[in-house]
Structure 1
Amino acid sequence: MKDIILIIRRFAWQYKSKLALNFLFNLLSAFFAVFSMAMMIPILEILFNLQEDVNEMVPWAMNLSDLKHNVYYYITQIKQSLGVGWALLYVGVFIIVGTGLKTGFAYGASYVLVGVRNRVVRDVRASLYAKIIRLPLGFYSDERKGDIMSRVMNDVQEIENSVMSSLSMLLKNPVLIVVFMATLMVMSFQLTLFILVMLPIAGIVIGRVGKTLKKTSREGQDKLGDIVNILEETLSGLRIIKAFTAEKKMDHRFDGHLDEYRRISNRLARRRDLAHPMSEFLGTIVIVLVVWFGGTLILNQEAGLSGAVFLSFIGIFYQIINPAKEFSNAIYTVQRGIAALERIDWVMMAKNNIADAENAHSADKLHQGIEYRNVSFAYGERTVLKNISVNIPKGKTVALVGQSGSGKTTFADLLPRFYDVASGGIFIDGVNIKEIKVHDLRGLMGNVNQEAILFNDTIYNNIAFGVENATPEQVMEAARVANAHDFIMATEKGYQTIIGDRGSKLSGGQRQRLSIARAILKNPSILILDEATSALDTESERLVQEALEKLMANRTSIVIAHRLSTIRNADMICVFQDGEIVERGNHHELMAIDGVYQKLHSLQIK
């Protein structure tokens, strides 16, 4: 119950006005349910001729005795004037009206709660997505994409299916149970006290079984994350799987996880399905004991109960059984949702170390330059950069060369704070980048990567991505500068052509020119190029290189180069080796040294 209250306070409390209205409707529904059942008493007494006639009214007052007296007065009048049949119909009309109001208010409660439920699910999804896109890249380097996707899709769906679908029962059934129990207390204190002793025993048995669902459900969600991860890896690496004829190996791997998930799901479903028969069986035991105890009291004339009142008592008590069963089922279901919620919280509670400092500075342009001062960085215990110092004046181009894994990409990734330095500092115009607002810092930069990162959207929207209020003329001009306009116009719908998943409908050179057009439209002060031409054929490389030269004109640029021919004109070339800069200078200076750079250059021209 503690977990249930916590979930309501955490997700639904902001809609407390609607929850209050739902509570009011449920309360009125419970009241009219009691009223309908209570009206069975005069019907039974009329049928069995148990009630004496009442020929005088008493003044109306808000107490049960006077209300009952006057109701029986009207019943007596109808019996005497119209007959017993009409008296039964008279009472029956009240039952119909009471039942109509009961069901009407019950629907009203459900109507209000539907809006709350769907809003809460929407809020959870939106909050989770917002958290995911704001977490630093370092968070994802240690996690599997498939597992993250499973938490976003399957776990949120589990919360919708379990917790939120149970919210109606959790808010409605306790109200019904309390109202019915209060009515039973008025009817017979002794019999109700007996029920209050019996019900908790049944609740304890149900609760013990329910606790095991949480652990099993979490295991199932974790295993589902493994399955989604394998599926994501399969789709991403399908070309390699087919090339190495590894279909059977992947089948075997996937089938193993599916079998394990099937076994966990079997355990979970069997425990969940135990809820209904167990609650029904225990409820039957309680009813039999109540009938036995109540019958004993009537026969011994100890409770002051008539047969008609006792039958109504049983009828009202039976009304408790369904809410109690649904409530117990809801507790079972919520345990599964809580396990999913814990997995979501693992993402929601993840710490974002890349955040704005207090009193962070704004920045809109680069005025002086960039400086790396004694920068070191490590992924876990693996040191990647060691005491790096580089000064990049405004408008200059610095090229980074070296073997794979030497630290070039990490050097560039530290500038927009995709990661934070372990020691030392990076300064823009003399200000530590940790003291600049992250949004403004990244707004200074444009990125063109080796793999053009595009979205399954139109060409126009991909170029205008991240640039607010871009006009069609500006988008087209950026495409012309990037040597992309001609091939765009040759597509079926021009700038409104959908390019497919990751730009799959375009060639590598076309994708790269779109990413350059995107950077041109952003018009950044600082440009980061990460091997932007290394994966292209000769013709595409020429077109892309021309576009890059236009983009780099009069901009401060950091270029990670695989092909040394593309950075011959760089103002400074830094040669990386094992996380250190072992050589620096322009092309001619480095060739004269006859060191690492000269060896790399010789290897490429052979």
Structure 2
Amino acid sequence: MKEFLKVLGRFIPPYKRHLGASIGFNILHSIFGGIAMLFMIPILDVLFQTTKEVHSMVAWDLSKDALQNNLYYYVTLIKQQYGVAVVMPFVGMLMLITTFFKVGFAYLASHQMIGIRNGVVRDIRKQIFDKLMALPLAFYSDERKGDVMSRATGDVVEVEVSIMSSIDMMFKNPIQIIIYVGFMMVISVPLTLFVFVMLPIAGWIIGRTGKTLKQKSRLTQSKMGDLLGIIEESLGGLRIIKAFNAEGTMKNRFSKEIEAYRQHMNRLQRRYVLAHPLSEFLGTVVMVVLVWFGVYLITGTGAELKGSAFIAYIGIFYQIINPAKSFTTAFFNIQKGLAAMERIDKILLADNKILEQDGARHIDSFQNAIEYKNVSFGYNEYQVLKNISLTIPKGKMVALVGQSGSGKTTFVDLLPRFHDIQEGSISIDGIDIRDLKVHDLRGLMGNVNQEAILFNDTFFNNIAFGAGKASQQEVEQAAIVANAHDFIMATEEGYQSYVGDRGGKLSGGQRQRISIARAVLKNPDILILDEATSALDTESEQMVQEALENLMSSRTSIVIAHRLSTIRNADLICVFSEGEIVEQGTHDELVKKGGAYSKLHELQVR
């Protein structure tokens, strides 16, 4: 329960006014429910002709004696003037009026809680997505994408179904139970004390039954993350799966996981469905024992409890049964929901190391140079970059070459702070990038990656992505520069045509040219190209390369390339090997030197 209250403490405060209104309505609902049951007493007395005749009123107040005396006074008056047959409708009308207020306040209380429940779920979803967008790339390298998706989708649904749907019960049922117990105390103190002995025993049994539910639920939700991971991997690698006739392998892998998930769900749901029958059986046990003790109080020597009052007492106690059963169901639901919330918190409470310092500086332009000074970086214990120093003057084109895994991509990823360096410093115009606003820093840069990343949207929106409000003319001009305009216009709806999931309706070269057009439109001070022309055919490569060279002529460019023909005109070429820069110079200088670059060049010109 402490964990549940912590969850509410995190998400309920914005809705405390609605919560207060709901609690108030629930109090009124319970009060009128108890009063409605009390009106059964005079009805039963009249029915069994045991009504006490009262011929004088007393002053009205909230005491039991005053209310009972004056109610029986009117019953006596009506009975004497109109007969017993009229007393029943009179008392029945009072009962109908109180019942109307009871159900009316119940509706108003639930009306308030609906807004709270849906609002909290919206807030959780928004916080998860905001955090996913804020977390550094390193977080995702340590997490399975399927499990992250499971937490952001299935676990949120579980919280919505389990915890949020239980809020109403948690704030309504205790109020009902407390108020109804108050009415029961008014009728009979000994009988109510007896109930206090029985209910904790039943509650203890139910609590023991649900103790392991949270752990089982957490394990089941983790299994769902495994399933989503396999599905995501299979869809992403479908071409390879089919090419290697590995459909059977993936089917077997998925079958094993889905069978494990089925077994966990069986154990979880069998424990969960035990809640209702167990609470109903224990409630019946309490009711049977209560009736036995009530009969003893009615028929015993010097008994003060009347039969009509006992029946009304049973009626009020019956009003407690449903809240108590719902309270039990809510307890089981909360255990499941808390397990889901723990998994969600692995995202919400994840440490975001890419943070802005207090007083981070604003920057809107690049003036002089980028400087890497004694920079080292590694993933866990694997050192990717080792004590690298490099100065990149404004307006210069710097090319990075070397074998795969030599650290080239990591080198450029450190500049926009996709990762933070572990040793040394990177500065722009003499200012450490960690002292700059992250949004401003990345605003200086445009990226074209080796894998063209497109969204399931139109050509227009993919090119204008991140560029604010771009006009049709600006988007078309960028597409022309990237040699993409012609094939876009050849589609049915031109720039308003959809590219499909991850650009699936386009060829590899077309996807790359849309990605290049996006960078062209942004018109950045610093351009980062990671094998930008690798997916283009020869003719398109020549056209795009010429456009990129024109674009880079007035910009600082960092180009990662395996095809050395695309970087012959670079101002500086840096050769990476095992996380170090082993050679620097122009194309001609490095070829003459006869080192690592020369060997790469010879391999490509053969």
TM-score where L is the length of structure 1: 0.98
Structure 1 residue 190 displacement after superposition: 1.2
**Paired position in structure 1 for 2:433:** 433
CA contact (8 A) 2:213 2:332 kept: yes
Structure 1 residue 302 displacement after superposition: 5.2
Deviates more, 1:537-546 or 1:320-329: 537-546
Structure 1 residue 232 displacement after superposition: 0.3
**Paired position in structure 2 for 1:72:** 72
**Paired position in structure 2 for 1:25:** 25
Structure 1 residue 546 displacement after superposition: 2.6
Paired with 1:64 and 1:97, the residues of 2 have a C-alpha distance of 20
Structure 1 residue 230 displacement after superposition: 0.4
**Paired position in structure 1 for 2:308:** 308
3-state DSSP class of the match of 1:16? helix
3-state DSSP class of the match of 2:359? coil
CA contact (8 A) 2:516 2:532 kept: no
Structure 1 residue 551 displacement after superposition: 2.3
Q: How does 1:416-427 map to 2 (within 5 A)?
A: 416-427=416-427
**Paired position in structure 1 for 2:364:** 364
CA contact (8 A) 1:516 1:547 kept: no
3-state DSSP class of the match of 1:453? coil
**Paired position in structure 2 for 1:263:** 263
* 1:345 maps to amino acid: D
CA contact (8 A) 2:279 2:328 kept: yes
Paired with 2:362 and 2:70, the residues of 1 have a C-alpha distance of 78
Tell me if 1:460 matches 2:469.
no
Paired with 2:60 and 2:183, the residues of 1 have a C-alpha distance of 21
CA contact (8 A) 1:223 1:257 kept: yes
Paired with 1:275 and 1:540, the residues of 2 have a C-alpha distance of 67
* 1:498 maps to amino acid: Y
Paired with 2:239 and 2:513, the residues of 1 have a C-alpha distance of 25
CA contact (8 A) 1:188 1:303 kept: no
CA contact (8 A) 2:481 2:544 kept: no
Tell me if 1:117 matches 2:109.
no
Tell me if 1:532 matches 2:532.
yes
Q: 1:506 to 1:543 in 2, by over 3 A?
A: farther
Paired with 2:94 and 2:191, the residues of 1 have a C-alpha distance of 27
Tell me if 1:573 matches 2:552.
no
Please list the CA deviations of residues 531-561 of structure 1 after superposition, one character each: whole Å capped at 9, or x if unmatched: 1112322123223213322321210000000
Please list the CA deviations of residues 13-56 of structure 1 after superposition, one character each: whole Å capped at 9, or x if unmatched: 22010011111111111111111111000011011111221222
Q: How does 1:169-568 map to 2 (within 5 A)?
A: 169-301=169-301, 304-568=304-568
**Paired position in structure 2 for 1:582:** 582
Q: How does 1:56-205 map to 2 (within 5 A)?
A: 56-205=56-205
CA contact (8 A) 2:512 2:535 kept: no
* 2:478 maps to amino acid: A
CA contact (8 A) 2:483 2:540 kept: no
Please list the CA deviations of residues 387-425 of structure 1 after superposition, one character each: whole Å capped at 9, or x if unmatched: 111110000000000000111101110100111112111
Please list the CA deviations of residues 155-205 of structure 1 after superposition, one character each: whole Å capped at 9, or x if unmatched: 001001111111211111111101101111121111111111111111111
CA contact (8 A) 1:294 1:310 kept: yes
Deviates more, 1:292-301 or 1:123-132: 292-301
3-state DSSP class of the match of 1:104? helix
* 1:232 maps to amino acid: E
**Paired position in structure 2 for 1:600:** 600
Q: 1:285 to 1:93 in 2, by over 3 A?
A: same
Tell me if 1:4 matches 2:4.
yes
Paired with 2:584 and 2:61, the residues of 1 have a C-alpha distance of 99
Paired with 1:251 and 1:98, the residues of 2 have a C-alpha distance of 62
Please list the CA deviations of residues 83-128 of structure 1 after superposition, one character each: whole Å capped at 9, or x if unmatched: 1111101111111111111111111111111111111111100000
CA contact (8 A) 1:512 1:544 kept: no
CA contact (8 A) 1:513 1:547 kept: no
3-state DSSP class of the match of 1:452? coil
Please list the CA deviations of residues 481-527 of structure 1 after superposition, one character each: whole Å capped at 9, or x if unmatched: 22222222221111111111111112222211211111122111111
Paired with 1:22 and 1:251, the residues of 2 have a C-alpha distance of 51
Deviates more, 1:55-64 or 1:182-191: 55-64
Figure out how many residues of one structure are paired with residues of the other and give that number: 606
Paired with 1:2 and 1:301, the residues of 2 have a C-alpha distance of 47
Paired with 1:294 and 1:5, the residues of 2 have a C-alpha distance of 38
Please list the CA deviations of residues 540-590 of structure 1 after superposition, one character each: whole Å capped at 9, or x if unmatched: 322321332232121000000010000000000000111111110000000
* 1:124 maps to amino acid: I
Paired with 1:4 and 1:583, the residues of 2 have a C-alpha distance of 60
* 1:575 maps to amino acid: V
CA contact (8 A) 1:215 1:339 kept: yes
Give % identity: 59
Structure 1 residue 279 displacement after superposition: 0.6
Deviates more, 1:3-12 or 1:80-89: 3-12
CA contact (8 A) 1:455 1:503 kept: yes
Paired with 1:509 and 1:549, the residues of 2 have a C-alpha distance of 18
**What is the root-mean-square deviation of aligned Cα atoms in Å?**
1.1
* 1:144 maps to amino acid: R
Paired with 1:188 and 1:48, the residues of 2 have a C-alpha distance of 21
3-state DSSP class of the match of 1:62? coil
TM-score where L is the length of structure 2: 0.98
